[in-house]
Chains A and B, each alone.
Chain A
């Protein structure tokens, strides 16, 4: 009897170690968007009702944790049917290269490209690998955007009025004059989550594009233009200028984006640098907040400001999924006008489907107006090595706290760049 029990236990343990099999009419979706989870769950319910296919929506937040989970799942080959890759384009390419992501081009091209045409072009570009891309990925579209994004500046209408400022600044000089006026009436000028490296990187990238243009930025990434060049020093000096008293919120270099959002929502700073998602956040923190959206003020008025934007959140389909067709069908349904409008209204996000734009709130519409001026590292032909980016972002923090000069930071970043290039060779 004992032996039988032991054998049974052994069998149970071995069976338990296996991956649970989902029935074929169930697809699993992993996401990281806490604010969108109720809406996604609701849409999953509607989809099940309409089609009989159950979509199991699983939330793993915050995004850092989600990214680690996805990487671990890829290593263990247990990715769900639908998931998102929040990492750099290089890592996205790695996922594709290792067969974890399905090429969705045939689905997008069907019916004269009807599905493809329904999206903002910038939103699809993030998921597109063109012919001859540096990652050597076969050309195609590998992801489905569910919303679009851009990161701009926001201004508090009441605080600007208090300082006698009639309109938001258009140039960097005007911006500095405005923050001086705000400082005189005891208001802090600018807040952002510069404790998060990507936000510093994003702000610096805006000014790099404005000061020297895309071609020179790419030349820097290729190693043809040094960080010690005059153009890059100009970019670094933007941070030095902003480090003047009263311009930046105290402790900005260790502020998370959440802290910065709270500071702006509670009217503790007149300007903020944040993404469109802040509309939802501010609405929750202070529904009476009177604010507007503006492009970061330009330094070089001859060249338009380019801001980070494009696809906000995208989903990819697991190439090894037995439910691949059903997963694609669900994503197609999710990005149709009706569902996109529902998502946008329920979560105050910018829809990826152009047709859904007509029904979104006015502040969001202001964000959407400049989609044509967006760019993003994921669509650039070249990307900087992460070690160089880290050195640059940390260097920018050093400038803000007055620890280093732009020249010192430029030299340090260039030294890292030279080392990385030498290793590559």
Chain B
């Protein structure tokens, strides 16, 4: 059937109906599970509600106003920002370095590919509990229970043995590092896939022209990999800003407010203080922040696109 561009390609009403029949289930599901909840959450964010009462008091933008002055909410955003920063830098650099290594002709590279992808497929709760055990600070008669402190003391670095998860100076850093350890495999996989699409002849040509490894990386690999790197960065930001299962399993309900992130604050407002309206205001604001960050990244990626 030949159809005009821009015009509905089916002339008969029955055929159009059949087409709609295919689209409608997807639209309905999207509407019920995405569009309606979004509007409902926004609606709840304008109300004072404990989650049970049939009556939800309309309070306008009071919840948003309160949120704007909520110091702990601000700190939770900063904490999530810190975790994201570590993930963007350390995690992604590690992922890129390992992807570059595995893209070369090295021995047992398939084995490494599998090993590097194990942390991301492990349950976050399991990873959290394992690291909680590794970082345990307890000791009796000079013997440490935690693996890290035990190893440090046996290697003669007792002075470095530390209360890792209960010290405000190290708790968030530990969480950020564990999050990066757990997450680098995704970046590794995507970057490796990207690297394999780079034409190897370009490197050979560069080598003939006298380019060294760094020059080839800077002038060939990096520019060609930029679209993949941007995708990895956006996914890292979205994943890291929303981290919370790892935090719950590593430090329980948290170390004062030093390990609070937006999602734990939302959870705390919902189940701890039973302020569903306020929690929804947090959710809406946080969602808007994430959308803003994604749009900014996209715009930046568009600007830096090689001509």
Name the A residues within 8 Å of B159 (CB-CB): none
A187 within 8 A of B: yes
Q: How far is the CB of A64 from chain B (nearest CB, A)?
A: 7
Query: Within the complex, what minimum Cβ distance (angstroms) separates A417 from chain B?
Result: 14
**Nearest opposing residue in chain A for B252, CB measure:** A195
Q: Cβ of A250 and Cβ of B137 under 8 Å apart?
A: yes
Question: Digit string of B72-92 for contact with A (CB within 8 Å is 1, else 0)?
Answer: 000000000000000000000
Among A86-94, A141-149, A316-324, the stretch that binds chain B is A86-94
**Minimum CB–CB distance for B23 against chain A, Å:** 16
- Tell me which residues across on chain B come within 8 A of A196, comparing CB atoms: 252-253
On whether the beta carbons of A91 and B50 are closer than 8 Å, the reply is yes
CB <8 Å contact, B140 and A188: yes
Q: Give the residues in chain A near B254, CB-CB below 8 Å.
A: 195, 254
Contact of B141 among A67, A186, A256, A403 (CB under 8 A): A186
Q: Does A231 contact B (CB under 8 A)?
A: no
B294 within 8 A of partner (CB): no
Q: Is B221 an interface residue (CB 8 A)?
A: no
Chain B residue numbers with a CB within 8 Å of A204 are none
Q: Does residue B163 face the partner (Cβ distance < 8 Å to A)?
A: yes
Contact A250 B257, beta carbon cutoff 8 Å: no
Name A245-279 residues within 8 Å CB distance of B.
249-256, 263, 268
The answer on a CB contact under 8 Å between A250 and B256 is no
- Is B165 located at the chain interface by the 8 A CB criterion? yes
Select which of B138, B166, B171, B272 is within 8 A of A197 by beta carbon. Answer: B272
Residues of B within 8 A of A408 (CB): none
B215-260 interface with A by 8 A CB criterion: 250-257
Once the chains bind, are A91 and B274 in contact (CB under 8 Å)? yes
Bound Cα distance A386, B140 (Å): 37
Is A401 located at the chain interface by the 8 A CB criterion? yes
How far apart are A254's CB and chain B's nearest CB, in angstroms? 4
The CA-CA distance from A252 to B136 in the complex, in Å, is 11
Among A95, A250, A268, contact of B166 (Cβ-Cβ < 8 Å) = A250
Contact A268 B255 (CB under 8 A): no
Interface bits B124-141 vs A (CB < 8 Å: 1, else 0): 000000000000111111
B105 contacts chain A at the CB level, 8 A cutoff: no
B51 closest partner in A (C-beta): A71
User: Does A98 touch B at the CB level, under 8 Å?
Assistant: yes
B144 nearest in chain A by CB position: A250
Q: Which residue of A lies closest to B62 (CB)?
A: A423
State the CA gap A263–B171 with chains docked (Å): 21
Cβ of B166 and Cβ of A254 under 8 Å apart? yes
Q: Which of A85-131 contact B (CB under 8 A)?
A: 87-88, 90-91, 94-95, 97-98, 100
Please state if A94 and B50 are interface contacts (CB–CB under 8 Å): yes
Q: CB-CB < 8 A to B167: which residues of A?
A: 401
- Contact segment of A207-215, A291-299, A325-333, A390-398: A390-398
Question: How many chain A residues have a CB neighbour from B under 8 Å?
Answer: 39
B153 within 8 A of A: no
Q: How far is the CA of A398 from the CA of B142 in the complex (A)?
A: 26
Decide yes or no whether A284 CB sits under 8 A from chain B. Answer: no
CA distance A197 to B268 in the complex (A): 11
Least distance between A193 CB and chain B CB atoms (Å): 8
State the CA gap A111–B121 with chains docked (Å): 61
Contact A390 B138 (CB under 8 A): no
Q: A97-B53, A401-B168, A401-B255 are in contact. Are A250 and B273 (CB under 8 A)?
A: no
A75 interface contact, C-beta 8 A: yes
Please tell me if A74 contacts chain B, counting CB pairs below 8 Å: yes
Q: Which residues of chain B have C-beta atoms less than 8 A from A64's C-beta?
A: 271
Contact A98 B140 (CB under 8 A): no
Q: Which of A282-323 contact B (CB under 8 A)?
A: none
Q: Which of A71, A186, A249, A253 touches B52 (beta carbons < 8 Å)?
A: A71
A34 at the interface (CB under 8 A from B): no
CB of B166 within 8 A of CB of A401, answer yes
A254 in contact with B252 (CB, 8 Å): yes
Q: Which residue of B lies closest to A6 (CB)?
A: B21
Q: Chain B contacts of A87 at CB under 8 A?
A: 274
The answer to whether B54 has its CB under 8 Å from any CB of chain A is yes
> B residues within 8 A CB of A252?
166
CB distance from A183 to the nearest CB of B (A): 11
**Residue from the list A98, A188, A386 in contact with B138, Cβ < 8 A:** A188
Q: How far is the CA of A1 from the CA of B272 in the complex (A)?
A: 55
Q: Is A387 an interface residue (CB 8 A)?
A: yes
Shortest beta-carbon distance, A386 to chain B, in Å?
A: 4
Asked if B273 and A387 sit within 8 Å, CB to CB, the answer is: yes
Q: Is B145 an interface residue (CB 8 A)?
A: yes
Residue positions of B touching A, CB distance < 8 A? 50-54, 136-142, 145, 163, 165-168, 171, 250-257, 268, 271-275
Chain A residues in the interface with B (C-beta under 8 A): 64, 67-68, 71, 74-75, 87-88, 90-91, 94-95, 97-98, 100, 186-188, 195-197, 249-256, 263, 268, 386-387, 390, 394, 397-398, 401, 403
7 contacting pairs across A/B (C-beta < 8 A): A64-B271, A91-B50, A186-B141, A196-B253, A250-B166, A251-B137, A387-B273
